[in-house]
Amino acid sequence: MGRKVLITQNIPQAGIDLLREKGFTVTIGRTGAAFSGGDLKEYEALLPLLTDKIDEKILQKMPRLKIIANYAVGYNNIDLEAATKRNIAVTNTPGVLTEATADLTWALLMALARLIPQGDRLMREGKYGGWDPMLLLGAEVYGKTLGIIGPGRIGSAVAKRAVGFDMRILYYGRTVNTVLEQETGAERVDFDALLEQADFISLHVPLTGDTRYLIDRPQLLKMKNSAFLINTSRGAVINERALVEALKNGFIAGAGLDVFEREPLLAPGLADLENVVLLPHIGSATVTARTRMAETAAGNIIDFFEGRRPRNLVNQLDLSD
């Protein structure tokens, strides 16, 4: 029997195969129930999803655990401090889902601006009465101002796509991103200037203590009435109740959301609004990205047990012994 790995729910086979080829004994948990029942004591590696909250309570049940290889780039679902205290390595899957998530961000942006869901619904309902000069008039995207909050991998990939739309690109982040500036002509501005000037604002920060509710009522009020907000980062970067209020009262023109504060639940009233496009957290949902995420997570576990520093280690660990 090889070292035991718990994958909390089924993932693309490529990752599972990599682990089995290396002699690991892989268990795949039942959807949503990986931690209830069963003996967790034997596992030395855990491959959780972003929906699995990995906290002190879980870690106490897993005394032999050495590595948590998250199946996501975001790792706000893991109590990093608790893991580090126990000398457990934590890894993520950066890079391999950047382009897929940037594409989806643009899909939301375009769907919002050009009323794509409304048009599709109208056609299916048999309500298209022929070409009409006043039918489904949306917003222009070309030449407008895009505001990127969180100019990292995905934020930069979203900005690059905006070059083809001749957009003015603003960004807000804690650090200067010279590569982004050189490649796209993006300008770094302060938070309020971005909120006040952008026609489309796209969120790409990780969810941390600093970014929770980064967009709340005062920030929504600073945005233009004609502006759109797109979120493919984490739901709690926006106060969703404040967003519903802003959308109802016309503080902003619309929102495109792939992520929500209390997934899979939506804030009351959100789904009743016409000026939102809602997606079920599918930013990285391409066959290619999800396969590469599985391979990356498995690769991190293999690195670790073969004595290498895992390629995507996110916590500071002493791996010398």
Catalytic residues: 234, 263, 281
Q: Is 174 among the residues that bind ligand NAP (CB under 6 A)?
A: yes
Question: Interaction with ligand GLV in 61-80: which residues (CB under 6 A)?
Answer: 72-74
Q: Determine the size of the site formed for ligand NAP (CB under 6 A).
A: 30
Does position 201 interact with ligand GLV (CB under 6 A)? The reply is no
Pick one of ligand GLV, ligand NAP, none as the site partner of residue 161 (Cβ within 5 to 8 A by kind).
none
- State which residue, 223 or 236, has the beta carbon closest to ligand GLV: 236
Cβ neighbours of residue 61 closer than 8 Å, sequence gap 6 or more: 35, 40, 41
Near ligand NAP in 223-242, by CB under 6 A = 232-234
Q: Of 12, 29, 74, 256, which one interacts with ligand NAP (CB under 6 A)?
A: 74
Quote the CA–CA distance of 4 and 1 in Å, as a whole number: 8
Tokens of 42: 């034997």
Stretch that binds ligand NAP, among 13-21, 79-87, 200-208, 241-249 (CB under 6 A): 200-208
Does 246 interact with ligand GLV (rule: CB under 6 A)? no
Q: How far apart are CA 245 and CA 227, in angstroms?
A: 15
Least distance to ligand NAP, CB of residue 2, Å: 31
Would you count residue 205 as binding ligand NAP (CB under 6 A)? yes
Q: How many CB atoms lie within 10 A of CB 136?
A: 11
What own/partner pairs with CB < 8 Å and gap ≥ 24 does 305-312 have?
A: 305/3, 305/22, 305/24, 305/44, 305/45, 305/66, 305/67, 310/67, 310/69, 310/89, 310/91, 311/91, 312/91, 312/92, 312/93, 312/94
Q: How many CB atoms lie within 10 A of CB 112?
A: 25
Q: Which of 44, 99, 240, 258 binds ligand NAP (CB under 6 A)?
A: 258
Considering the rule CB under 6 A, would residue 169 count as an interface residue with ligand NAP? no
Question: Whose Cβ is closer to ligand NAP: residue 210's or residue 274's?
Answer: 210
Strands (E), the chain: 4-7, 25-28, 45-47, 67-69, 89-91, 145-149, 168-172, 187-188, 200-203, 228-231, 254-257, 276-278
204 binds, options ligand GLV, ligand NAP, none, Cβ within 5 to 8 A by partner type: ligand NAP
For the bound state, the minimum distance from the C-beta of residue 258 to ligand GLV, rounded and expressed in Å, comes to 8
- Contacting residues toward ligand GLV, per CB under 6 A: 50, 72-74, 97, 283-284
